Each structure stands twice: as C-alpha cells, then as structure tokens.
Amino acid sequence: MPIETVQPALLGQNGRINARTQVASAAVKNANLRELAPKVSPLSRAHIRGGVGNAVLTFVPSLVLDTVDSIQRDTQGKLKFDARRLAISSARSQSGNLAGVIGSVAGTAIALYFGLAAAPVIMVGLSMGFAAQVLWGFGGGSDYAGVTAENLLR
C-alpha cells in the first residue's frame, strides 16, 4: 500500500523553506489591520450593527397585531377598519416598546461607559430594556399612553 507524504505549508519541495511564504507571513504580521479594513459609512455601520433591524423587530410585530385587532366585521359581515382603535391600541403597545428600547440604549451606554465589552454589554442592555418595559407596563404607563391617545383623538 503506498504511503502519501504531506509537507507543511512553510516547506517547499524537498523540505526547503519557501521564501515566498515567509515574506507573506511577515507582511501579514506587520500590517496595520485598521488600514486594511474596508471603509464603512455611518449609516451602513448602524444597519450592520442592527439599528434598522432592531427597530423593525421591536415595533412591526406589535403594529401588525394592533392592525389585525382593529379590523372588525360589521352587522352585514363586511370587514371594517377602525383607525381610531388602531391608534389607541398602538399607543398602548408601542409606548412600552419605546420604553424598552430607551432602557436598552441607556443600559448599553452605561455598560460601555464603565468599560464592559461584548457579552456583558449585551446582557446589561437586554436586562435594562426588559426592566424598563416591565416597569412601564406595571406602572400604568401603557394605560396612560392609551388614555392620552384617546383624549387626543376626541
């Protein structure tokens, strides 16, 4: 049975050191990685980090549920869209979402200020956002937002 020999990447034919490989690895070690990184605009940076995606995932599902809730059938069985009901229910639900986003951003900023990085920052942001949303809901903030929207629509 024939035996196949494998040469390491740094060795060329007959076990000699490949000069090209040494030069390339030395260039990579000495390169300034910030200069090699592609330039990204602030808008695309926010999109990459999830700024747009977070907003969509925060507000759109509640808006869809509020929209479905505001569609009703009248006495003849026809579908009827109630924009007033949508505005009031959205004020209730979206105000809690907004409180969660503000709490999450504040928690993240505080964690970054104190020098935390990566996973701890994410956990602090999630915890603060969750706490803000719970406090807003149990503190009567969503009811207050709904009553305020109802009074504005009169």
Give 59-87 pLDDT, tens digit per residue. Answer: 888 888 889 888 888 888 888 988 899 99
Domain ranges of the chain: 42-152
In order of 62, 63, 79, 90, the CA distances from 68 in angstroms are: 10, 9, 11, 11
CB atoms within 10 A of CB 87: 17
Cβ atoms of residues 129 and 104 within 8 Å: yes
Say which residues have a Cβ less than 8 Å from residue 46's Cβ, sequence separation at least 6: 52
Question: What global pTM score does this model have?
Answer: 0.60
Q: Which residue has the higher pLDDT, 83 or 46?
A: 83
Give 4-23 pLDDT, tens digit per residue. Answer: 665 555 544 555 555 555 55
- What does the DSSP assignment read for 84-97? HHHHHHHHHHHHHH
Give the model's pLDDT for residue 36: 58
Give 84-140 pLDDT, tens digit per residue. Answer: 999 999 998 899 989 988 998 898 888 888 888 778 888 888 899 999 999 998 999
